[in-house]
Amino acid sequence: MSGKTVRTARTRVRTAVREVPGPCAHWNDEDADFIREILDLVGDKWSVLIIGSLERGPTRYSDLADLIPGISQRMLTLTLKQLQRNGLVTRTAYPEVPPRVEYALTELGTSLLSTVLALAAWSAERHCEIRRHQQEFDADTTS
Amino acid sequence: MSGKTVRTARTRVRTAVREVPGPCAHWNDEDADFIREILDLVGDKWSVLIIGSLERGPTRYSDLADLIPGISQRMLTLTLKQLQRNGLVTRTAYPEVPPRVEYALTELGTSLLSTVLALAAWSAERHCEIRRHQQEFDADTTS
DNA sequence: CTGCATCCCGGTGGATACTG
DNA sequence: CAGTATCCACCGGGATGCAG
């Protein structure tokens, strides 16, 4: 997982998903990698929640901890660092006492948020439908 | 964490994400739950790849295995069953010899695909930007 | 207040071998 | 061909305690 075969072609990336020239596979390395990249960004347990909590502007560490019920300090710190590394949030430490640190969404983070929100909307629309399918399936399986 | 506090209100789900009545938290239980629901659906390692591979129509088990490099039989079976349970794909077994089984996207699955594709597009657009940030960050951190 | 270090447990998923 | 079953390594992530 450390190799990742650095792709050089960034061209025509979006169309690659839909237009497939021949009869061969459409999940060509590149496309699959983009999926993986997203999953690495937001596939974990807390990233999206944190990003969403930053929607309204710069927020302090402790405020984030309050906004996101159930998150541990460890995960908050870790995920924030990860988000920062990916350029989705910025970290600003004010040299005061007691220390104050604010996290904020970058433009990149904001753009991701809006995209992710679409997913959340989808879930909101369909989640009862999904539940129904699950129950049907479980009923059938429970022989 | 096993309780999950079964919500009874499915009302006004989509607006809940953007409109926040008061000054309080916007990640109200419901919204967070929708995020979690999505993550359960597509947050794993293979779901999205499988869904994408089904884009062109019904596909056989072995064909899927070929289309998705690196997936194990175990994970292919498991993930397909999960997708089926959630009503995203259908499984059709033809009573022939040798056996033939085809998986296909449901309308629900298709709708999710298009939403997920938006995320993939985002990743395609921004991934070089992300890489840049990562390298900068790592360079700074590598003291 | 903000954050790292450590311990530890459960789940995810890979490898492999076997069945209808 | 289309799975099922078993074993096991890895790591995400919770709890707790300490530090700047």
Question: Can you tell me the distance from the alpha carbon of B46 to that of B71, in angstroms, rounded to the nearest whole number?
Answer: 8
Q: Which residue has the higher pLDDT, B86 or B12?
A: B86
Find chain B residues with C-beta within 8 A of A49's C-beta. Answer: 27, 32, 35
Token pair recorded at residue A22 = 């021949």
**B83: closest CA among B95, B68, B96?**
B68
Whether B84 and B91 have beta carbons less than 8 Å apart is answered as: yes
Question: Can you tell me the distance from the alpha carbon of A51 to that of A113, in angstroms, rounded to the nearest whole number?
Answer: 7
Average pLDDT, chain A: 83
Smallest CA–C1' distance to D3, residue: B77
CB-closest option in A68, A118, A132 to B27: A68
State the average pLDDT over residues A67-85.
97
Q: How far is B20 from chain A (nearest CA, A)?
A: 11
Q: Is the CB of A99 under 7 A from strand D?
A: yes
Entry pTM = 0.82
Q: Output the CA angle B56-A114-A7, nearest 5 degrees.
A: 55
Q: Is the pLDDT of residue B17 over 60?
A: no
State the average pLDDT over residues A3-29.
43
CB-closest option in B55, B86, B127 to A134: B86
Distance between the alpha carbon (CA) of B91 and the C1' atom of D7, Å: 29
Q: How far is A74 from chain B (nearest CA, A)?
A: 18
Distance between the alpha carbon (CA) of A66 and the C1' atom of C14, Å: 38
Q: Band of the pLDDT at A26, cuts 50, 70, 90?
A: low
